[in-house]
Structure 1
Amino acid sequence: MIRLNLNIVFLGLSITSSWGNGHATIYRALMKALDARGHRVLFLEHDKPWYAENRDLPTPTYGRTALYSSVEALKDEYAREVREADLVVVGSYVPEGVAVGQWVLEEARGGVAFYDIDTPVTLARLPDGEHGYIDSELVRRYPLYLSFTGGPILERLQREYGSPCARPLYCCVDPELYYPAAAMNEATPETGVWDLGYMGTYSGDRLAKLNRLLLDPARRMPGQRFIVVGPRYPDDYPWPGNVERVEHLPPGEHCGFYNCQRFTLNITRRDMVEAGYSPSVRLFEAAACGTPIISDDWPGLGTFFEPGHEVLIAESSQQVIEYLNGVSETDRRRLGERARARVLSEHTAAHRARQIEQYAMMLLDRARPRAAG
């Protein structure tokens, strides 16, 4: 049975700023859900200029959030919290994460886990010895490796890299923040402001698919409207005239953004495609809003959404054009409704919070015989 009032500490990339990263919205949803379930939760974030200048949630209202200026300051100011926690979770891309992880493993008396929101990227770098937030030794030392990516990569973490226990912890969505605006009787621009939209930080390995699945259809359908949201795109990129560009959209505006699209596009990074079983948080957010999704294909996608029934798969410009012109309004709405029902039944923050509870109790149960001895 799950013991209530667990004491949980997260050390993550950022919860205060969603600028240029997908970590913040995931941590916000988890923190909020765990707090709602009666747990004491602390999030520790390294105070970095990039995020300090772009904070869209400087003081979350759930749990407790604190900033630290350096690893030494972290050790001086938060050793007690780490030592007394039932569970400490160190996330991927934490600045000086190797030093942080080594310290946490020495200091913590409860369970310790690593949460990798970037597992395929992590494993691609480990063989080259690029040690930033984790190294091969820490993979073996962390008692629990929680992975954003599921499927075969979990066995690989255990077999090839020596993780004692690798388990999935997929991203999730907060249904109080992402929902069909019409169902909540909220005023929002009429659905169809954009025929197709995409949100994602610029990545060179996604650019070819963005061209094929959105920009080329836009050029071939000048009478329809498109939008691309995300930072770091080249300033001189040749956007078609019917493609609106937005550099950054705060999370508070994501729900309205999805509700203003007839369809939304999901594009997966190359590392994630090769690993499979790596759903983007944007995929769940759009589905929770009831917005029909057109996605590239990747191994494991069918374990999250049924192709053709809850999500549409496209690999060519022509397929996208056929969806935009050929799917009836009734079928379009039903597609979004089915995807939303799937997310609400399996992929909310409350589902992930219960998983974290189970993982925490598993680690604490394993530690008890050693403590008794």
Structure 2
Amino acid sequence: MNITLFYHSILSDWNHGNAHFLRGVVRELEERGHQVKVYEPKDGWSLQNLIEGYGEGKLEELKTYYPNVSTNFYTLDTLDLDKELKGADLVLVHEWSEHELVKRVGEHSKESDYKLLFHDTHHRAITERESMAKYDLSNYDGVLAFGQVIRDLYLKEGWTEKAWTWHEAADTSVFYPHERKPYEGDLVWIGNWGDEERTAELHEFLINPVKELGLKAKIYGVRYPEHARKALADAGIEYGGWLPNYKAAEEFAKHKVTVHVPRRPYVEALPGIPTIRPFEAMACGIPLISSPWDDAENLFTPGEDFLVARTGEEMKKHLQTILSDADKAKELAEHGLQTINNRHTCAHRVDELEKVCEELGIDSSKIYLVQKEQVLHEE
């Protein structure tokens, strides 16, 4: 297939978690023989923050992990959809895109043969419903939603007639168990502070347990206000600032345990959506302990793939267990890793996307290129 993707950025993951999944999906699609073009807005805020804070050298570093990563910059006033979408079989437009772009691509699709999907990977459909309702999806063939509750909402609100659940997953070309050298610390956490959406939770399930247990810990992320940095320092936690996502696996290998602290909207209104961080951690073979969230879609087996701490005190107990019992830590890490490899890689998600394409009526000879080539080779 010729596939065109409109996203906020594939180059930058500065406060932009969608780049994690997008990179893995694009690589998997290309490995299967599909032709993929990614478009992102010129001067997008994530890429600009990355360059201003860390320099353009980070873009060269990215290519050492993703050699074939490339993008096309656009501005709304110069974007020629006739030219850019010529020959496309499938077009995906991400929910962080401008309302005007979403509408224009939809209108363009009426006179074209490609199939058009809207991809939603955020909680705004719940928390900012009025803004999301303004997206004109009337000409879209459907919605890919990163959780069942989001999918159901699109259908209930009448924003689309077709929707599929398409969870994020781990890019196992980068997220896999790296060689463990002498540990540099006990605990590592990678995540942004997040608009005060989980301040109390971060104190209860991360900062306070680390302080009270006297652990050697390091935290990476952006948008940490002064009071947050002060709390980390008071707990003896090293703050590492922004960490390129492709380096996270290397950091996991230097520590004994990590935790997952979901933002409040995911806990309260979006059951079944863990966000991408737990997928990536388990893919790296590091023991994971999570604060409470409802695995309503049975993605994992809580207690076997990761431990669940319902309170700060329980988090402390779980941390003590993992740090003192090497066999238990290994068992937990291996179970989580196996679940990822069996069910939750970008390859699995591309399998799901190909089935959606078939359901939409795209010619199967365009969809299943790898399988077709394998059959010819075997014959």
Indicate whether the TM-score tops 0.5: yes
Choose which of 47, 72, 92 in structure 1 pairs with 2:77. Answer: 72
CA contact (8 A) 2:175 2:280 kept: yes
CA contact (8 A) 1:13 1:93 kept: yes
Counterpart residue number, 1:242? 236
Choose which of 179, 185, 189 in structure 2 pairs with 1:194. Answer: 185
| Partner SS, residue 303 of structure 1 | coil
Shift of residue 229, structure 1, vs aligned partner: 1.0
Shift of residue 281, structure 1, vs aligned partner: 1.2
Distance 2:317 2:126 in 1: 37
Shift of residue 19, structure 1, vs aligned partner: 0.7
* Runs of 4+ deviating beyond 3 Å: 55-64, 134-137
Counterpart residue number, 2:106? 105
CA contact (8 A) 1:195 1:324 kept: no
CA contact (8 A) 1:289 1:340 kept: yes
TM-score (structure 1 length as normaliser): 0.86
Distance 1:364 1:136 in 2: 28
Shift of residue 15, structure 1, vs aligned partner: 0.4
Distance 1:107 1:160 in 2: 24
Distance 1:304 1:54 in 2: 33
Choose which of 36, 41, 48 in structure 2 pairs with 1:41. Answer: 36
Distance 1:167 1:302 in 2: 14
CA contact (8 A) 2:291 2:311 kept: no
TM-score (structure 2 length as normaliser): 0.84
User: Gapped runs of 5+ residues in structure 1?
Assistant: 1-5, 183-187, 367-373
Shift of residue 267, structure 1, vs aligned partner: 1.2
Choose which of 68, 88, 95 in structure 1 pairs with 2:91. Answer: 88
- Verify: 1:209 aligned to 2:201, yes or no: yes
Counterpart residue number, 1:3? none
Distance 2:223 2:168 in 1: 23
Choose which of 101, 104, 128 in structure 2 pairs with 1:125. Answer: 128
Shift of residue 176, structure 1, vs aligned partner: 1.8
Distance 1:342 1:323 in 2: 21
Distance 1:316 1:302 in 2: 23
- Verify: 1:257 aligned to 2:257, yes or no: no
CA contact (8 A) 2:181 2:254 kept: yes
Shift of residue 207, structure 1, vs aligned partner: 1.2
Counterpart residue identity of residue 226, structure 1: A
| Percentage of identical aligned residues | 25
Counterpart residue number, 2:147? 149
Distance 2:137 2:278 in 1: 28
Counterpart residue number, 2:370? none
Q: Deviations over 1:273-306 (max 9, x none)?
A: 2211112211111101111111122222671221
Q: Deviations over 1:307-328 (max 9, x none)?
A: 1111100122211111122241
Distance 2:358 2:67 in 1: 26
Shift of residue 140, structure 1, vs aligned partner: 4.5
Counterpart residue number, 1:54? 50
Shift of residue 107, structure 1, vs aligned partner: 1.7
Choose which of 312, 320, 324 in structure 2 pairs with 1:325. Answer: 320
Counterpart residue identity of residue 62, structure 1: N
Counterpart residue identity of residue 197, structure 1: V
User: Gapped runs of 5+ residues in structure 2?
Assistant: 52-57, 364-379
Distance 2:310 2:186 in 1: 18
Counterpart residue identity of residue 160, structure 1: E
How many residues of Structure 1 are paired with residues of Structure 2 in the alignment? 342
Mark the CA change 1:26 to 1:305 in structure 2 (over 3 Å): closer, same or farther.
Answer: same
| Partner SS, residue 15 of structure 1 | coil
| Partner SS, residue 79 of structure 2 | helix
Shift of residue 137, structure 1, vs aligned partner: 5.5
Counterpart residue identity of residue 105, structure 2: V
- Verify: 1:29 aligned to 2:27, yes or no: no
| Partner SS, residue 205 of structure 1 | coil
CA contact (8 A) 1:111 1:363 kept: yes
Distance 1:172 1:294 in 2: 18
Distance 2:91 2:297 in 1: 32
Counterpart residue number, 1:359? 356
CA contact (8 A) 2:103 2:135 kept: no
Counterpart residue identity of residue 310, structure 1: D
Counterpart residue number, 1:309? 304
CA contact (8 A) 2:9 2:19 kept: yes
